[in-house]
Homo-oligomer: A and B are copies of this chain.
């Protein structure tokens, strides 16, 4: 989907938060914000929001000289999620429709997003979220695909969310599962390091997409990833960034996410905070 005008002020706010998280130097914060403004001024050069987001966050890396500005946060997110992991499994144990609630847990993992929740992600919040039903849930289509398919590609999103995705992986172990992550640190997205730290390798093969944008820009992905992308029987894409870059792509993909911003919610046809499993 195309960048919307609403994204522009949001980019600036995000990059300011990121700058402040990584340097106390106010001049440097300002310099980053001014450079971000320049990028916004040339927004026509980009098609999707994650393409702009990447350049925004590269500024933070460049000016603060920190190669992984969200390293600590990602670690904390994974630790927090690990603490909730037994609750996820217990919650699931009580459910009849295990696939539905597994998908729901994986979708809830999507709120482990620094930009939205910060430090508020406590256990109780998550358990409440587990209980909410999907607004759109094309599970019948997914069941059909799962029945006939053998190779499942999951495209990951944030660190921490990865632990929630482990629950999904553990439910689908009869399939060959490949879990794809960003090639380099970008915002709080998972890279191979965080995928391993989340123990996803116990049930899935972990690969890099070859792309370091906070979404999948196919032209920039590795040949290995593109081969799997084209070969996979089922693709589950997690989160907003991947939706923004893949929702207009040719392949039919299951998008599993929480609509966290008005732009995405409007595009899907739901409200902000609604959970969605939709094939596009």
Interface residues, chain A, with chain B CB atoms under 8 Å away: 5-6, 8-10, 12-13, 16, 26, 29-30, 33-34, 37-38, 40-41, 43
- List of B residues within 8 angstroms of A16 by Cβ: 5-6, 8-9
Q: CB within 8 A of A34: which of B6, B9, B41?
A: B41
Would you call the interface of chain A mostly helix, strand, loop, or mixed?
Answer: helix
Q: Residues of B contacting A8 with CB < 8 Å?
A: 12, 16, 33, 37
Which residues in B have their C-beta under 8 angstroms from that of A37? 8, 37, 40-41
User: Shortest Cβ distance from A60 into chain B, in angstroms?
Assistant: 14
> Closest B-chain residue to A16, C-beta based?
B5
Within the complex, the shortest CB–CB distance from A265 to chain B, in Å, comes to 17
**When chains A and B are docked, how far (Å) is the Cα of A5 from the Cα of B9?**
12
Contact of A5 among B5, B6, B30, B40 (CB under 8 A): B30
A34-B41, A41-B34 in contact; A9/B10 too (CB < 8 A)? yes
Chain B, residue nearest A29 (CB): B5
Report how many copies the assembly holds: 2
**Additional A-B contact list (4), CB under 8 Å, known A5-B33, A8-B33, A34-B41:** A5-B16, A9-B10, A37-B41, A38-B41
Q: State A37–B34 Cα separation when bound (angstroms).
A: 10
A6, B9: Cα distance in complex, Å: 11
Closest to A34 in B: B41
Closest Cβ of chain B to A15, distance in Å, is: 9
A109 to chain B, nearest CB (A): 27
> Which residue from B12, B26, B38 sits with its C-beta under 8 Å from A12?
B12
Docked CA distance A10–B34 (Å):
14
In the bound complex, how far is the Cα of B34 from the Cα of A40, in angstroms?
8
On chain B, the residues within 8 Å of A29 by CB distance are: 5
Alpha-carbon gap, A6 to B26, bound state (A) = 12
Docked CA distance A29–B33 (Å): 22
Distance between Cα atoms of A16 and B4 in the complex (Å): 11
Q: CB-nearest residue of chain B relative to A39?
A: B37
Give, as a whole number of angstroms, the nearest-CB distance from A21 to chain B.
13
Q: Which residues of B contact A38 (CB under 8 A)?
A: 41
Q: How far is the CB of A20 from chain B (nearest CB, A)?
A: 8
Expressed in whole angstroms, the minimum distance between the Cβ of A192 and any Cβ of chain B is 33
8 Å CB contact of A9 from B13, B26, B41, B43 = B13
- What would be 15 A-B contacts, judged by CB atoms less than 8 Å apart? A5-B16, A5-B29, A5-B33, A8-B16, A8-B33, A8-B37, A9-B9, A9-B10, A9-B12, A9-B13, A9-B16, A12-B12, A37-B37, A38-B41, A41-B41
